[in-house]
Amino acid sequence: MRTVIRGTGMFVPPHVVDNHVLAKVMDTSHEWILQRTGIVERRYAAPGTATSDLAVPAGRAAIENAGLTPEEIDYVLFATMTPDYYFPGSAPFFQRKLGLRNLPCLDIRQQCAAFVYGVQLVDALIRSGAFRNVLFIGAEVHCAFMPWECWDVLLDGAERPVSDEERASNTRFRDRLVLFGDGAGAVVFSGEPEETADGRGVIDVLTHTDGELAEKLYTPAGGSAFRPYFSPSMSERGETVPIVEGREVYKLAVTLLPEIVSRILERNGVGPDQLDLLVMHQANLRINEAVQKRLELPDEKVFNNIHKYGNTTAATIPLALHEAREAGRLRPGDLVCFAALGSGLNWGAALYRC
């Protein structure tokens, strides 16, 4: 069997938070954010909206796009770093809300590299013959971990002044708070016999983890490393906000990503000039531009949408894949590479023929 992409879907919250809004609540500016990240705006979910809530319309859209019914999905793979609850994962809640039958649902925690790891798992499930139609979901509600108290300004457009104390607290985390947005992307993968696939499908996947670098991207609060798991002091010290060592992560990404893309192409007998589209994790436009330059790829062979959504972690590649398909950037026979690096440190690449 070949593992082929049969349908895609996405959903983002309707509320847009642009850089000018963030400048109202901390010391930053549209120019500062754009220059460093390439982000213009991002979406925030309304209070009370869980990650599984965003995943439902994305999953439903992908199933419909695939020409299937929910009853025909026989496995769900759910990726997020912002689950509805500490446990269980979001997959069972998504299953219930979408009205899926009692099929197996697996949660994975590969954060920004989740889609590449997901493709590897999905391909193994389908090639084994155990499952035919697998739904991958990447979804995040990042605004839930942000230490905002000024939700009326961010979501309701209130024009009240933000206190100096609150502004200083927000500014302390501005390097991270400007990065993240909320959203969900979904992909339906199906098994197709080799003789009818006509060369389409997953070709190869490469993944790596280096735990020596785990603290470059992590949240230093909550979990069995502490007694108790959570305490009020963690929030007071800002330890519930992820640590992102930006300069170190940049250096790692612009080295490891072009390296792994080159390796997966080389071991499958093709060069960068034969690649039709590169879809990378959308963490920072400057990273993606540097990777593109090192691979010597023209603009028409790279797809980015970070300017609209910010970093949506596990959702970024599914969102970009769906929008690339909708924009006609993927044609039958095209060779596509997906590449990502994120917390863990996890990174990888997947090669796919449309």
Catalytic residue ranges: 112, 281, 311
Residues 300-303: contacts with CB under 8 Å, at least 24 apart: 301/275, 301/276, 301/277, 302/277, 302/278, 303/277, 303/278, 303/279, 303/329
Q: Single out the residue of 127, 82, 80 nearest to residue 105, CA to CA.
A: 80
43 close to 183: Cβ distance less than 8 angstroms: yes
**Torsion over CA: 39, 45, 51, 52 (sign):** negative
C-alpha to C-alpha distance for 274 and 282, rounded to whole angstroms = 23
Q: Single out the residue of 344, 76, 45, 32 nearest to residue 212, CA to CA.
A: 344
Structure tokens at 278: 């590169």
281 close to 316: Cβ distance less than 8 angstroms: yes
C-alpha to C-alpha distance for 195 and 1, rounded to whole angstroms = 9
The DSSP code sequence of 44-67 is -PPTT--HHHHHHHHHHHHHHHTT
Structure tokens at 279: 């879809």
Question: What is the phi/psi pair of residue 184, to 5°?
Answer: -145, 140
C-alpha to C-alpha distance for 275 and 254, rounded to whole angstroms = 19
C-alpha to C-alpha distance for 59 and 263, rounded to whole angstroms = 32
